[in-house]
Chain A
Amino acid sequence: MFSGLIDNYTQSVLIFAGIHVIAAYSFFAPFKTGQVSLGQAGFMGIGAYASAILTQKMGLPFAVALPFGGLVAGIVGIVVGFPALRIKGVYLLLLTLGFSEIVQVVILSWDYTGGAQGFRNIPFNPNTFEWCIGLIVLLMIFFARLERSSLGRAMDAIEQDETAAEVMGIDVVRIKLLAFGIGAAIAGVAGALFAHHTTYVDSTTFNILLAVEILTYVVVGGGSTFWGPALGAFVLTLLPEFLRTLRDYLELVPTEWTDSFPINRIYDFLYGFLDFENAKRLIAYGLILMAMMIVRPDGLLTRDSMRWASFARWRNSRD
């Protein structure tokens, strides 16, 4: 559909950004009830393997496999979510981290799907880009509606104070489980998309680093509004690509600005540093993460900034 508009490289970067946005929303759903999960990588793995078994082993079409991946991950999510109800904070973080690790070990030792060799020859889905756009639009509508629905308000109440929410008559157990299950299902869908785009997955694909990255997307983007996860995942996925082109911009600086003593040293250092092989890019990425948390610890977008950008404010300011 968009093949004439953008080149292949851009499209592949955008596809990964899209999958990351979906994964960020999978983290966002339980996060709305105050549950911080590092299990999203594990759920992505489950979704990827479940869907790939359908397409590669049984020859079913991708359109069937994708919801199946989400469903399996969602069911596992509810099973994991039950014990997870009892604990919170650091304990939940570590429990879900342990879950992701266990999924990795199971994948590694399951010979049916290739075990340590990885799952090969998963059918390539040529329309991943369109699928991503469609799913992201659906998710954004869903979370936008959720924010103003009674379920969404109940989630906010649980996040603020669980006991108070329970006293108000909110079914805390059911809503927390639901949020966890929805998150797991979304992660499963993201995993299915990923598997059918790369056509190869193994136990290290869905590791702790991926889980941490997903967490980072939401915190950096801002976890208080539904725009935050999309923005965070998008910005952080594209940031390394942007850093790659930074040197071209540096070359635009006129030479007469930079040939006197202190500035030329800085310029040379920056120029040398900005050839941006992988390690240097990631150093810059880490530094930006640290700076972000000092400058905007609530994330890029907060409820205040959404109010600032809202239509009502614009309308009111005209008269």
Chain B
Amino acid sequence: MFYQQMINGLMLGASYSLVAIGYTLIFGVLNLLYFAHGEVFMVGAFVGLFLVLYAGTNIYVALFGAMIACAILGAFAFFVAVRPVPKDRPLAPLISTIGLTIVLQNLAIYVFGGQQMAFPETIHQALYHLGPITISSVQIFILGVALALMVALWLFIERTKLGRAMRAVAENHETAALLGVNVNRVVLITFIIGSGIAGIAGVLDGLKNSSVSPFMGLGAAVKGLIVMLLGGLGNVPGAMVAGLLLGMIEILSAAYIGTTERDFFSFLILILILLYRPTGLFGTRTAEQR
């Protein structure tokens, strides 16, 4: 039972991680709370659903399509809601991305209707037994894609030139610019990468819950924020580990304490982290120290 719950927690945590990675990347390079990220996640889920349902593609194409669509959406969001807004006022970009959140959510309600839509079964269902654990093929698929994506992203950030440029911009805009990094381009690429990952996360979430709804974005956005803090602002590996951790904490508290207390625990953790360890579990610098 316990191990089974651990697997469920990992499943939940994987989608938290993927959303939080986008947040933490964007927060890292721009130092701003980008509220619309949850809705990008939701749009990704719908794009995946429509590719599977109406274009009849397999799940890999759907994942890829959702990634591309969300990457474009992320670039669009950057140009309409982030770039034109003055950066020296901390609340203005927050409000403009809230505006974008409202637009995207209601666009989805307008186009698809306000109800949940079922996500079709696209993967052959099979159950595998590993000692005390039962794991389905869908779960293996989701975990596999999420982990592969995280490893790929980690390698990208640590090993490539562009990844190094992203880290430099996150460190300090002016210094990065002096060293010949095109800051605007790097910020745009960060939005594209973070949003693309959120798109994949949306499809995986649709697969996991077998349903997609226009309201799935807000919850994902809030949990993503908690994970971002837990891992340390701007810390990508931190966000990965913290997402899995939060997923497990939620599932275990739901299983052993009660389902209404589940959210209580995640927010309690948020508050404790904020008060006693604002650098996150894995110790990066706080926003003030940047």
| Same complex origin of A and B | yes
B-binding residues in A (CB < 8 A): 36, 83, 86-91, 93-95, 97-99, 101-102, 104-106, 108-109, 116, 208-209, 212, 215-216, 219-220, 223, 277-280, 282-283, 285-290, 292-294, 297-298
Q: Given the complex, which residues of A lie within 8 Å of B127, measured CB to CB?
A: none
B114: nearest chain-A partner, CB-CB: A279
Q: Given the complex, which residues of B lie within 8 Å of A87, measured CB to CB?
A: 274-275, 278
Asked if B99 and A286 make an inter-chain contact with CB atoms under 8 angstroms apart, the answer reads yes
Asked if B106 and A105 make an inter-chain contact with CB atoms under 8 angstroms apart, the answer reads no
Asked if B275 and A283 make an inter-chain contact with CB atoms under 8 angstroms apart, the answer reads no
How far is A104 from B110 in the complex, measured between Cα atoms in Å? 28
The yes or no answer to B33 lying at the interface (CB within 8 A) is: yes
Q: Identify the interface centre among B218, B222, B271: most chain A CB within 10 Å of its CB.
A: B271
How far is A98 from B264 in the complex, measured between Cα atoms in Å? 9
How far is A239 from B95 in the complex, measured between Cα atoms in Å? 17
Known: A90-B287, A219-B95, A279-B110. A289 touches B261 (CB 8 A): no
Of residues 186 to 245 in B, which have CB atoms within 8 Å of A's CB atoms? 218, 222, 225-226, 229, 233
Q: Given the complex, which residues of A lie within 8 Å of B103, measured CB to CB?
A: 282-283, 286-287, 290
- Select one of A102, A216, A287, A290 contacting B267, CB under 8 A: A102
A213: nearest chain-B partner, CB-CB: B98
Tell me how far the C-beta of B191 lies from the nearest C-beta in chain A, rounded to whole angstroms: 16
How far is A36 from B271 in the complex, measured between Cα atoms in Å? 16
Known: A216-B98, A290-B100. A90 touches B267 (CB 8 A): no
Q: Given the complex, which residues of B lie within 8 Å of A282, measured CB to CB?
A: 102-103, 105-106
Known: A286-B99, A297-B92. A280 touches B106 (CB 8 A): yes
For the complex with contacts A83-B275, A297-B92, 6 further pairs of A-B residues with Cβ separation under 8 Å are A101-B263, A105-B264, A208-B222, A289-B96, A290-B96, A293-B85
The yes or no answer to B65 lying at the interface (CB within 8 A) is: no
Main secondary structure on chain B at its contact with chain A?
A: helix
Known: A219-B95, A283-B102, A294-B84. A94 touches B275 (CB 8 A): no
B27: nearest chain-A partner, CB-CB: A90
B101: nearest chain-A partner, CB-CB: A286
Known: A83-B275, A87-B275, A89-B288. A290 touches B81 (CB 8 A): yes
Q: Given the complex, which residues of A lie within 8 Å of B218, measured CB to CB?
A: 208-209
Count of A-B residue pairs with CB < 8 Å? 131
Asked if B89 and A298 make an inter-chain contact with CB atoms under 8 angstroms apart, the answer reads yes
Of residues 62 to 80 in B, which have CB atoms within 8 Å of A's CB atoms? 80
Tell me how far the C-beta of B123 lies from the nearest C-beta in chain A, rounded to whole angstroms: 32
- Select one of A91, A99, A280 contacting B110, CB under 8 A: A280
Tell me how far the C-beta of B135 lies from the nearest C-beta in chain A, rounded to whole angstroms: 31
A31: nearest chain-B partner, CB-CB: B91
Known: A98-B271, A283-B110. A105 touches B100 (CB 8 A): no
Asked if B99 and A89 make an inter-chain contact with CB atoms under 8 angstroms apart, the answer reads no
How far is A221 from B127 in the complex, measured between Cα atoms in Å? 57
Q: Given the complex, which residues of B lie within 8 Å of A208, measured CB to CB?
A: 218, 222
Tell me how far the C-beta of B52 lies from the nearest C-beta in chain A, rounded to whole angstroms: 24
Q: Given the complex, which residues of B lie within 8 Å of A278, measured CB to CB?
A: 106
Asked if A286 and B102 make an inter-chain contact with CB atoms under 8 angstroms apart, the answer reads yes
- Select one of A83, A223, A280, A286 contacting B100, CB under 8 A: A286
Q: Given the complex, which residues of A lie within 8 Å of B225, measured CB to CB?
A: 94, 97
Of residues 260 to 288 in B, which have CB atoms within 8 Å of A's CB atoms? 260-261, 263-264, 267-268, 270-271, 274-275, 278, 286-288
Q: Given the complex, which residues of A lie within 8 Å of B114, measured CB to CB?
A: 279
Q: Given the complex, which residues of B lie within 8 Å of A108, measured CB to CB?
A: 260
Asked if B85 and A279 make an inter-chain contact with CB atoms under 8 angstroms apart, the answer reads no
The yes or no answer to B247 lying at the interface (CB within 8 A) is: no
The yes or no answer to B93 lying at the interface (CB within 8 A) is: yes
Of residues 170 to 185 in B, which have CB atoms within 8 Å of A's CB atoms? none
Asked if B271 and A105 make an inter-chain contact with CB atoms under 8 angstroms apart, the answer reads no
The yes or no answer to B155 lying at the interface (CB within 8 A) is: no
How far is A236 from B239 in the complex, measured between Cα atoms in Å? 36
The yes or no answer to B86 lying at the interface (CB within 8 A) is: yes
A–B Cβ pairs within 8 angstroms, 20 of them: A36-B91, A90-B33, A90-B233, A93-B33, A95-B271, A98-B267, A99-B271, A102-B267, A102-B268, A105-B260, A109-B260, A208-B222, A215-B91, A216-B98, A219-B94, A279-B109, A280-B110, A286-B106, A294-B96, A297-B89
The yes or no answer to B120 lying at the interface (CB within 8 A) is: no
The yes or no answer to B56 lying at the interface (CB within 8 A) is: no
How far is A91 from B275 in the complex, measured between Cα atoms in Å? 9
A88: nearest chain-B partner, CB-CB: B288
Tell me how far the C-beta of B208 lies from the nearest C-beta in chain A, rounded to whole angstroms: 23
The yes or no answer to B90 lying at the interface (CB within 8 A) is: yes
Q: Given the complex, which residues of B lie within 8 Å of A223, measured CB to CB?
A: 91
Tell me how far the C-beta of B239 lies from the nearest C-beta in chain A, rounded to whole angstroms: 15
Of all A-B residue pairs in the complex, the 6 with the closest CB atoms, nearest first, are A289-B99, A286-B102, A286-B103, A297-B92, A293-B96, A290-B99
Asked if B107 and A94 make an inter-chain contact with CB atoms under 8 angstroms apart, the answer reads no
